[in-house]
């Protein structure tokens, strides 16, 4: 299952071609096909003879893959054999040791290897094989060669493989292959930029098992982190406690409390070009306490909360001229006035304000409705949109307004 926050709807009309080779993991290429088609990306596929021992071209066709290729001399073949050359990216998943070797050595003895040899665009390869075959010096040499030629390499995972061995050789997770392919289809307009994000809630414990927090899921921040990474940025996400998948291309620093988030952000931010602060940080924390669990005894529990550091105000207040900061404002009323005051008070380049008491906006929703405002007085209200779409537009805005 591809998580919803990976589903960026900006690839309509793009075209990918999928090469499927003979592996027990070949059925996962069907999940991949379905995920691309969900984003209205056109998918073509070529199955080798060995792949067809595991999956059928009928299954790919039934999902909507078109064109479909099998063997070079199939009767009734209506397509030009090298037609995948017009695709925007060519993904080989799963890739056997055999196809990796053919690609590295320029062999073209079946339809898929001919198509790959003739293909001029970006190629991604996700191998799946027995761990000893993967570790074999010949395979490792071929793999290195593909890297030197600029092929996108998606390393296999470690674990048990179908033949009972354990080690590196399992096909990488489908969502990783999916996101790497989206990156190959994305404009690389944030390449060379380092972006740090804070996301999710913080937890402030008042005994060892209970805490003060808020309902942030981290989705808004994750969408921004993924959009930036797809567009070529080097991304570090400082994540409060959230159950949220992030692609391997994002460096993740998990934290729990506001003070931990502050320390991590203060450490990372000086080396960054852009800081984007989407976290819902607890403004106050209960007193430090080492009690296992407060017992109820009839008397009220009175705790005096201390203010937490304002991470954004502190880091943005002392940022360099070449750094940019994006803040968020979670508002229950006076969206515009409060956002404008936070933009100035926290020395921001851009603020994104969202109403947190409106259905389909703010916390824990797949959609949001925002008002964006920058330090030059530019302002726009966007209608309710998926958070993925809002994230993409925020980076468009930043790029449009960066000299
Ligand atoms: O995570 P989701 O479920 O997807 O929900 C998204 C969201 C509603 C959490 C997100 O869109 C959002 O509004 N994030 C900011 C929440 C917030 O704390 O807003 P604020 O108005 O209280 O803070 C203003 C800014 O200062 C924010 O950028 C915040 O990250 C930052 N801040 C606040 C307090 C603090 N101690 N340190 C901070 O860095």
Q: What is the pLDDT along the chain (403 residues), one digit of tens a residue?
A: 899 999 999 999 999 999 999 999 999 999 999 999 999 999 999 999 999 999 999 999 999 999 999 988 877 676 788 888 899 999 999 999 999 999 999 999 999 999 999 999 999 999 999 999 999 999 999 999 999 999 999 999 999 888 888 999 999 999 999 999 999 999 999 999 999 999 999 999 999 999 999 999 999 999 999 999 999 999 999 999 999 999 999 999 999 999 999 999 999 999 999 999 999 999 999 998 888 888 888 788 888 999 999 999 999 999 999 999 999 999 999 999 999 999 999 999 999 999 999 999 999 999 999 999 999 999 999 999 999 999 999 999 999 876 5
Q: Which atom of ligand 1 is nearest to the CA of 265?
A: 39
H-helix or E-strand spanning residue 74:
none
CA of 287 to the centre of ligand 1 (A): 22
- Judged by phi (left if over 0) then psi (alpha if -120 to 50, else beta), residue 200 lies in left
User: Is 120 exposed, middle or buried (CB count within 10 Å of its CB: 0-12, 13-18, 19+)?
Assistant: exposed
Residues with CB under 6 A from ligand 1: 198, 216-220, 258, 277-281, 283, 308, 310-312, 327-330, 342, 354, 356, 362-364
Distance 392 CA to ligand 1 centre (A): 19
Q: Percentage helix, strand, coil, to 5, in the chain? A: 35, 25, 40
Domain 4-185 is in which class? alpha beta
pLDDT at 8: 97
Nearest residue by C-alpha to atom 21 in ligand 1: 329
Distance CA 93, CA 110 (A): 17
Query: Which residues 6+ apart lie within 8 Å of 196 measured at CB?
Result: 235, 236, 237, 238, 265, 268, 269, 272, 274, 275, 276
Ligand 1 atom closest to residue 242's alpha carbon, by position in its atom list: 1
Active-site residue, 223 included: no
Element of type H or E holding 111: helix 111-118
How far is 67 from 90, CA to CA, in rounded Å? 13
CA of 55 to the centre of ligand 1 (A): 47
Partners of 9 in the beta sheet?
none
Cα separation values, 251 from 138, 181, 229, 237, Å: 31, 19, 10, 6
This prediction's pTM:
0.96
What is the dihedral sign for C-alpha 270, 276, 279, 281? positive
Per the structure block, which two tokens stand in for 50?
Answer: 């060995």
Q: Which residue in 163, 223, 276, 289 is the catalytic one?
A: 163
Question: Of the candidates 324, 316, 319, 320, which has an alpha carbon nearest to the alpha carbon of residue 399?
Answer: 324
Radius of gyration of the chain (CA): 25
Q: Could you give the residue range(s) of every CATH 3.40.50.10300 domain in the chain?
A: 194-400
CB 250 within 8 A of CB 226: yes
Of ligand 1's listed atoms, the one at least distance from the Cα of 309 is: 36
194-400: CATH topology = Rossmann fold (3.40.50)
Atom number, ligand 1, closest to the C-alpha of residue 327: 28
CA 403 – ligand 1 centroid, Å: 27
Helix (H) or strand (E) holding 130: none
For CATH 3.40.50.1950, list the domain ranges present in the chain.
Answer: 4-185
The preferred substitution site among 312, 315, 382 for testing ligand 1, maximizing ligand atoms within 8 Å of CB, is 312
User: Strand ranges (DSSP E) for 228-313?
Assistant: 234-239, 250-254, 274-277, 284-285, 306-307
């Amino acid at each position: 299952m591809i998580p919803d926050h990976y589903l960026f709807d900006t690839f309509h009309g793009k075209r990918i071609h999928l090469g499927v080779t003979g592996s027990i993991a070949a059925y996962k290429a069907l999940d991949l096909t379905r995920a691309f088609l969900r984003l209205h990306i056109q998918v073509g596929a070529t199955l080798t003879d060995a792949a067809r021992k595991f999956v059928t071209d009928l299954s790919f066709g039934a999902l909507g893959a078109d064109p479909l290729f099998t063997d070079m001399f199939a009767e009734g073949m209506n397509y030009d054999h090298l037609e995948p050359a017009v695709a925007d990216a060519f993904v080989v998943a799963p890739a056997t040791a055999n196809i990796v070797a053919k690609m590295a050595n320029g062999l073209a003895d079946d339809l898929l290897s001919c198509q790959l040899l003739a293909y001029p665009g970006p190629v991604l390869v996700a191998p799946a094989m027995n761990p000893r075959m993967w570790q074999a010096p010949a395979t490792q040499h071929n793999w290195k060669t593909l890297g030197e030629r600029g092929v996108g390499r998606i390393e296999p995972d470690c674990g048990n493989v179908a033949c009972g061995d354990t080690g590196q050789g399992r096909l990488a997770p489908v969502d990783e292959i999916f996101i790497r392919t989206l990156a190959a289809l994305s404009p690389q307009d944030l390449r060379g930029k380092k972006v740090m994000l804070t996301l999710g809630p913080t937890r402030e414990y008042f005994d060892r098992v209970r805490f003060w927090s808020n309902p942030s899921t981290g989705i808004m921040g994750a969408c921004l982190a993924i959009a930036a990474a797809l567009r070529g940025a080097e991304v570090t996400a400082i994540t409060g406690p959230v159950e949220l998948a992030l692609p391997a291309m994002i460096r993740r620093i998990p934290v729990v409390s506001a003070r931990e988030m502050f320390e991590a952000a203060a450490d990372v931010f000086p080396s960054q070009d852009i800081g984007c602060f989407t976290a819902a940080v607890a403004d106050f924390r209960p007193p430090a306490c080492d009690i296992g669990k407060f017992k109820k005894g009839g008397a009220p529990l009175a705790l005096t909360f201390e203010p937490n550091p304002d991470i954004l105000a502190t880091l943005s207040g002392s940022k360099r001229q070449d750094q940019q900061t994006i803040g968020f404002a979670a508002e229950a009323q006076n969206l515009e006035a409060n956002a404008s005051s936070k933009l100035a008070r926290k020395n921001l380049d851009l603020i994104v304000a969202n109403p947190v008491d409106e259905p389909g906006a703010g916390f824990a929703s797949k959609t949001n409705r925002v008002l964006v405002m920058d330090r030059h007085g530019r302002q726009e209200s966007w209608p309710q949109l998926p958070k993925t779409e809002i994230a993409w537009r925020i980076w468009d805005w930043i790029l449009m307004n960066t000299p």
